[in-house]
Amino acid sequence: MLKISVSKCHNCRMSQLIILILFFTPLLYLPVAKDAFSAPKNLFVVFTCALLGILLAKRAAFKKIKLSIPAALLFGAFFLISAVSCFYSSNSLVSLKYTADFLLYGILVLAAAHCAANDRKSLKAFANAVCAATIAVSVLGLLQVFHIDFFELTMNLLFWERSTAFFSFKERIFSTMGNANFFGGYLVMSVPVAFALFIGTDGLKRGLFYGSASLLGLLCLVKTETVNAWAAAALGFLIFIILAFVYAREKRKKLALSLLVLLALGISAFAVMHPKEAFAKLKSAGSFSTLSERGRLVMWKAGLEMIKERPVTGFGAASYKTYVSKYEGRVLNSPGFTDYPYQMTKDAHNDYIQIWAELGIFGVFVFLLIIGFSLAFGFSLALRKNTQERMICFGLLSAVTGYAVHAFFNFPMKIAPIFTALCVFCGILLSGSPAQVGMKSRLSGKIIVMVAVLVGGALFFAAALFFAANLEAGYGILMYDRSRYNEALLHFDRSLGHSDRFDYTRELRTHFYKGNIYYVRGEYAEARGEFIKEIALNPYNADARYNMGLILDRLGLKEEAIESYKKALELEKTFSPAAEKLYEHGVKWPATPS
């Protein structure tokens, strides 16, 4: 049986916790939460990283840790820049939470670096955990290809409903990630590691395990139909192939044969699965005729407009979502963009632009240094390892390279399975030549541990509030879908009690659902109040403007209703329901049906 545990890691539990993070974070799923695929993952990562922080502090306080100086300096600098931004951010609490999250991710990096430097077996154990998770998520993804949606089935069983929804075919699979782009981004990180282990291992049983992870991951990558993930994976594999051919000559034959097999299987996968959407995007690449390209162009230009205004300091950690609508409006009113739609997403779909817009030039510079130093130090570390460990390091280098490419088109920094993998990989790659660090005073050590416990507990409590808001909103939506409106309102009110504290309501859209309930029940004044709040949080939401128009119609406020329908059409020019309402009112509009 394949083992993914480690025999020792300075007699502590840090390695086991990191293995749990690498294996369980991609798999966690809670159907009743609004963000069923992300909320439980985020809470789990916060909890386990807080425990890691306590263990790391305890080890440093009473013994010694092997501290990676480059990792501590780079991630420490990024943390400090985020912390300083809290003082000029428009919402200090949201910025503080972002800063706290990055503190926990920094702890994960330092813990991974310590374990990798202290025990050579931990390197392979971490890689094995990634492979095991890759097999699990890939199997669930391939079930979607064969018309079986495990997640719909779970919901049906949970609520005792009969439905054939779980037999519906998915054109793009997402497995446990909830989004094909996120799933593709995760496979960009995990498949090179699995393939590197396959090349570096000679045993049949382990070879089958690593080969299965590589093959299943590759098949799923094809069916995510995520073109930017394909490009990122291709570049990562190219880096691995070059490194392996030059620095692992004894593996050249196996590598060449494996590449031929993968190439044949890849061509077969494209022929059988026929990812039509991805092929269409490739054919029209650069023409900005698809919604994906047009949307990204608007989001990028909006982010660049923010950067032009505050290039040095940025707007503050996690503040992009607060300001982007304003700058997006500027872009869409400029020549050449008047026929582009507003984007409801609150992320730039480019980590580099978003980090620069939020943390300024120094923030994005430090982030680039993290990627660059991880690659440089990791290459140096790989050359000092034996063949199998060198292959693993090359796989990690390929994964980090793929991440750097994928981050140009998405926001993997916000996706827990992807970013936790990056942090562990960077920790390993930066683990060479660590410094021994410890506390000489036992009293100082106790104080450090107490501070770690208090900080970790506070961060987990804050994360639990976010999770509670998400969970209550999820229950509210479930009750809303079942027309159990009183119960739905109760859950939405509980969600608001948590989310309003951290400016989290705009993502949950709680007021939108409450307004719909009041509208259905004929309580139009209450419905109007909820949509006023929703529009204040999300002013560029065409659905909210349209629903407000319906409410104003019911209240007899025809002129205001017409203005609301017009605004919906300004935001989304093909919004035919709003055009039809204007037609009923006898108002001429360019989008009015003839």
- Per-residue confidence band for 281, with pLDDT thresholds at 50, 70 and 90: confident
**3-class secondary-structure state, position 66:** strand
**In a shared domain, residues 387 and 426:** yes
Is residue 319 domain-resident? no
- Per-residue confidence band for 139, with pLDDT thresholds at 50, 70 and 90: very high
Residues 422 and 412: beta-carbon distance below 8 Å: yes
pLDDT value at residue 165: 43
Indicate if the pLDDT at residue 569 is higher than 80.
yes
**In a shared domain, residues 516 and 414:** no
Which helix or strand (DSSP H or E) is residue 162 part of? none
* 448-479 residue pLDDT tens: 778 888 888 888 888 898 899 999 999 999 89
- Per-residue confidence band for 290, with pLDDT thresholds at 50, 70 and 90: low
Is residue 589 domain-resident? no
Q: Where are the beta strands (DSSP E) in 230-369?
A: none
Is residue 44 domain-resident? yes
Specify which residues 67 forms β-bridges with. Answer: 435
**In a shared domain, residues 481 and 428:** no
More confident residue, 362 or 60: 362
Sequence-separated (6 or more) residues with CB below 8 Å from residue 2: 128, 132, 205, 206, 209
Q: What are the DSSP calls for 401-442, one per residue?
A: HHHHHHTTTS-GGG-HHHHHHHHHHHHHHT-SSPEEE--S-H
Percentage of the residues of the chain whose pLDDT score is greater than 70: 89
- Per-residue confidence band for 8, with pLDDT thresholds at 50, 70 and 90: very low
pLDDT value at residue 110: 93
pLDDT value at residue 445: 65
Is residue 305 domain-resident? no
Is residue 537 domain-resident? yes
Is residue 226 domain-resident? yes
Indicate if the pLDDT at residue 164 is higher than 60.
no
For the ranges 23-32, 154-163, 296-305, 372-381, the lowest mean pLDDT is seen at: 154-163
**In a shared domain, residues 115 and 182:** yes
**In a shared domain, residues 117 and 20:** yes
CA distance 207 to 548: 60
Residues 411 and 347: beta-carbon distance below 8 Å: yes
Is residue 309 domain-resident? no
Is residue 129 domain-resident? yes
Sequence-separated (6 or more) residues with CB below 8 Å from residue 100: 459, 462
CA distance 325 to 335: 18
**For the chain, how are helix, strand and coil distributed in percent, rounded to 5?**
75, 0, 25
**In a shared domain, residues 154 and 220:** yes
Specify which residues 435 forms β-bridges with. Answer: 67
pLDDT value at residue 576: 82
CA neighbor of 70 nearest in space, from 33, 117, 34: 117
**The two structure tokens encoding residue 163:** 């439905």
pLDDT value at residue 367: 97
CA neighbor of 31 nearest in space, from 138, 139, 154: 154
More confident residue, 588 or 316: 316
Specify which residues 436 forms β-bridges with. Answer: 66
CA neighbor of 424 nearest in space, from 114, 99, 55, 175: 114
Indicate if the pLDDT at residue 14 is higher than 70.
yes
**The two structure tokens encoding residue 404:** 């750097």
The phi-psi region of residue 360 (left if phi > 0; otherwise alpha if psi is between -120 and 50; otherwise beta) is left
Residues 500 and 510: beta-carbon distance below 8 Å: no
Indicate if the pLDDT at residue 282 is higher than 80.
no
- Per-residue confidence band for 406, with pLDDT thresholds at 50, 70 and 90: very high
Please name the residue that has the structure tokens 């009183």: 486
CA neighbor of 345 nearest in space, from 491, 577, 181: 181
The phi-psi region of residue 240 (left if phi > 0; otherwise alpha if psi is between -120 and 50; otherwise beta) is alpha
Residue 158: alpha-carbon gap to chain centroid: 26
CATH value at residue 483:
1.25.40.10
| Chain mean pLDDT for the chain | 86
- Out of 438, 458, 492, a domain closes at 438
**In a shared domain, residues 384 and 484:** no
- Per-residue confidence band for 503, with pLDDT thresholds at 50, 70 and 90: confident
**In a shared domain, residues 434 and 501:** no
Highest mean predicted confidence (pLDDT) among 97-106, 287-296, 573-582 = 97-106
Indicate if the pLDDT at residue 308 is higher than 90.
yes
Residues 546 and 575: beta-carbon distance below 8 Å: yes
Mean pLDDT computed over 38-66: 88
Q: For the chain, what is the total number of helices (H) and then of strands (E)?
A: 24, 2
Identify the sign of the CA torsion 188, 375, 19, 262.
Answer: positive
**In a shared domain, residues 393 and 507:** no
CA distance 375 to 323: 34
Mean pLDDT computed over 327-345: 72
**In a shared domain, residues 434 and 491:** no
Amino acid at 186: Y
pLDDT value at residue 502: 76
Residues 327 and 305: beta-carbon distance below 8 Å: yes
- Per-residue confidence band for 172, with pLDDT thresholds at 50, 70 and 90: confident
CA neighbor of 458 nearest in space, from 53, 38, 168: 53
**3-class secondary-structure state, position 25:** coil
Indicate if the pLDDT at residue 591 is higher than 70.
no
- Out of 395, 419, 438, a domain closes at 438
CA distance 80 to 467: 26
**In a shared domain, residues 424 and 489:** no
Specify which residues 276 forms β-bridges with. Answer: none
Indicate if the pLDDT at residue 238 is higher than 50.
yes
* 190-218 residue pLDDT tens: 999 999 999 998 888 888 999 999 999 99
**In a shared domain, residues 32 and 132:** yes
**What pTM was estimated for this model as a whole?**
0.89
Specify which residues 66 forms β-bridges with. Answer: 436
**The two structure tokens encoding residue 110:** 């330092």
- Out of 384, 419, 438, a domain closes at 438
Domain residues for the domain of 117 are 14-288+345-438
Mean pLDDT computed over 432-441: 66
Report the length, in residues, of the chain. Answer: 594
CA distance 192 to 240: 8
Look at the chain and report how many structural domains it folds into.
2
Q: Rg of the chain's alpha carbons, rounded to an integer? A: 25
